[in-house]
Amino acid sequence: MNKIIYSVMFAFLLSACTTTQVEQAQTETQMNHKIDRSVMPTPGPAPEINLDKPQSFTLDNGLKVMVVENHKLPRVSMNLTLDNPPVVEGEKAGVAQLLSSMLGNGTSTMSKDDYNEEIDFYGAYVGLRSSGASVSSLSKYFPQILSLTAQGALDPLLTQEEFDSEKAKMLEGMKADAKNVSSVARNVRNALGFGLTHPFGEFPTEETVENVTLADVRQFYQENFVPGNAYLVIVGDIQFNDAQKLVTENFSNWKTGAVKRQNFTEPTNLRTAQIDFIDMPNAVQSEVATINVANVKMTSPDFYAAMMANQILGGGGEGRLFLNLRETHGWTYGSYSRISPDKESNLFTTTASVRNAVTDSAVVEMLGELQRIRTELVSEEELANAKAKYIGNYVMEVEKPETVARFALNKETQDLPDNFYENYIKNLNAVTPEEVRAAAQKYFGKDNARIVVVGKSEDVLPALKKLNMPINYYNRYAQPVEAPKQVEVSADVTAEGVINNYLKAIGGADKAKSIKTLHTTFEMTGAAPQPIQGQIKNMAPNKEVMTMNMNGMEVMKQVFDGQTLKISGMMGSSEKSGEDVAAQAAKKGIIEQAFYTADQLEIKGMSQVDGKDAYKIEVTKGNDTITEYYDASSYLLVQSVAVQKSPQGEMAVTSKFKDYKTVEGIQMPHTIEQSVGPQNMVLNIQNYTVNSGVSASDFE
pLDDT band for position 32 (cuts 50, 70, 90)? very low
| Edge-to-edge strands, sheet with 335-339 | 335-339, 347-355, 285-293, 450-455, 274-279, 471-474
pLDDT of 489 higher than 90: no
> Please, what sign has the CA dihedral across residues 270, 275, 281, 282?
positive
Q: What is the pLDDT of residues 326-362, one digit of tens each?
A: 999 999 989 999 999 989 999 999 999 998 889 999 9
Over residues 206-234, the mean pLDDT reads: 97
Tell me if residue 123 falls in helix, strand or coil: coil
pLDDT band for position 34 (cuts 50, 70, 90)? low
pLDDT of 25 higher than 80: no
What per-residue confidence (pLDDT) applies to 358? 95
> Quick one: which H or E segment has residue 535?
strand 532-539
Of 140, 107, 106, 104, the C-alpha closest to 123 is: 140
Over residues 131-156, the mean pLDDT reads: 97
Domain tally, the chain: 3
Are 493 and 464 contained in the same domain?
no
Are 434 and 304 contained in the same domain?
yes
pLDDT band for position 8 (cuts 50, 70, 90)? low
Q: Is residue 259 part of a domain?
A: no
Is it true that the peptide bond before 541 is cis, omega within 30 degrees of 0?
A: yes
Tell me if residue 92 falls in helix, strand or coil: helix
What per-residue confidence (pLDDT) applies to 27? 40
Are 235 and 142 contained in the same domain?
yes
- Conformation bin of residue 658: beta by default, left when phi > 0, alpha when psi is -120 to 50: beta
Is the pTM higher than 0.75? The answer reads yes
Are 453 and 539 contained in the same domain?
no
What per-residue confidence (pLDDT) applies to 57? 97
Per the document, the length of the chain is 700
Q: Is residue 114 part of a domain?
A: yes
In a 10 Å sphere around its CB, with 0-12 CB exposed, 13-18 middle and 19+ buried, how is residue 44 labelled? exposed
pLDDT of 503 higher than 80: yes
Pairing type for strands 64-69 and 230-236 reads: parallel
Torsion of CA 206, 212, 213, 214, to 10 degrees: -110
pLDDT of 96 higher than 50: yes
Angle (CA) 116 122 123, round 5°: 85
Min mean pLDDT across 210-224, 238-252, 432-446, 615-629 is at: 615-629
Q: Which CATH number do you get for residue 612?
A: 2.50.20.10
Over residues 210-238, the mean pLDDT reads: 96
Q: In which domain, by residue range, is 576 found?
A: 2-22+489-699
Residue where a domain terminates, one of 413, 447, 474:
474
Q: Is residue 47 part of a domain?
A: no
- What sections of 315-453 are H helices per DSSP? 320-322, 359-375, 380-398, 401-413, 424-429, 433-443
Q: Is residue 536 part of a domain?
A: yes
Q: Is residue 303 part of a domain?
A: yes
Measured N-to-C along each axis, helices 359-375 and 457-465 cross at an angle, to the nearest 10 degrees, of: 50
Q: Is residue 439 part of a domain?
A: yes
pLDDT band for position 200 (cuts 50, 70, 90)? very high
What per-residue confidence (pLDDT) applies to 645? 67
What per-residue confidence (pLDDT) applies to 572? 82
In a 10 Å sphere around its CB, with 0-12 CB exposed, 13-18 middle and 19+ buried, how is residue 640 labelled? buried
Residue where a domain terminates, one of 448, 474, 500:
474
Q: Which CATH number do you get for residue 351?
A: 3.30.830.10
Are 616 and 531 contained in the same domain?
yes
Determine the Cα–Cα distance for residues 191 and 189; give it in Å rounded to an integer: 5
Q: Which residue has the higher pLDDT, 265 or 97?
A: 97
Are 433 and 465 contained in the same domain?
yes
What per-residue confidence (pLDDT) applies to 31? 43
Are 339 and 216 contained in the same domain?
no
Of 592, 636, 641, the C-alpha closest to 614 is: 636
Q: What is the pLDDT of residues 288-306, one digit of tens each?
A: 999 999 999 999 999 999 9
Chain centre distance of CA 599: 39
pLDDT band for position 49 (cuts 50, 70, 90)? low
Mean pLDDT, all residues of the chain: 90
pLDDT of 394 higher than 80: yes
Are 329 and 460 contained in the same domain?
yes
Q: Is residue 357 part of a domain?
A: yes
Are 469 and 555 contained in the same domain?
no
What per-residue confidence (pLDDT) applies to 43? 58
Q: What is the pLDDT of residues 397-445, one digit of tens each?
A: 888 877 888 898 999 999 999 889 989 999 999 999 999 999 999 999 9
Are 300 and 440 contained in the same domain?
yes
DSSP of 2-17: HHHHHHHHHHHHHHHH
Are 358 and 387 contained in the same domain?
yes
Q: What is the pLDDT of residues 615-662, one digit of tens each?
A: 999 999 877 889 999 999 999 999 998 877 665 556 778 899 999 999
Residue where a domain terminates, one of 451, 474, 497:
474
Spatial CB neighbours of 469, under 8 Å, sequence gap ≥ 6: 273, 274, 275, 451
Tell me if residue 314 falls in helix, strand or coil: helix
DSSP of 624-666: EEEEEEEETTT--EEEEEEEEEETTEEEEEEEEEEEEEEETTE
Are 231 and 320 contained in the same domain?
no
Q: Is residue 89 part of a domain?
A: yes
> Quick one: which H or E segment has residue 340?
none
Spatial CB neighbours of 6, under 8 Å, sequence gap ≥ 6: 640, 642, 653, 654, 655, 672, 674
What residues does 674 pair with on adjacent strands? Answer: 655, 681
